[in-house]
Amino acid sequence: MTINQIICRAASAYPDALVMEYWDALREQPRENIRSGDMLAEFIVNELFSTFHEEASGGDQLAEAVQVMQSAADDLQAVAHALANIDREREREAA
């Protein structure tokens, strides 16, 4: 499995495949100084690239990519949950 294959698969699931705006497939590395404004797409590229180990088996590469993305998703979900509960927490404190 190559890093291009992993990035392309991630892009296929991301809205408008914007992940590819942050990826240079010819150089097999993140593009520099992109000002597209989708920091989540940029984050995905950078995380997948920085955790990719060429010498690892395809299965290990995929497992690492899944783990990194799942961890990020869990963190984002925790932040969304905390923000969604601000009003409830304020109501409890006021009572």
Q: pTM, whole model, 2 decimals?
A: 0.86
* Domain assignments of the chain as residue spans, ordered by start: 3-94
At residue 91, the pLDDT reads 80
The tens digit of pLDDT for each residue in 14-25 reads 999 999 999 999
Structure tokens at 77: 């979900």
What's the pLDDT tens digit per position in 47-94?
Answer: 999 999 999 999 999 999 999 999 999 999 999 999 999 988 888 888
pLDDT of 34 above 80: no
Angle at CA of residue 25, ends 21 and 28, nearest 5°: 115
Round to whole Å and give the CA distance between 40 and 43.
5
Q: Could you give the CA distance from residue 76 to residue 50 in angstroms, rounded to a whole number?
A: 19
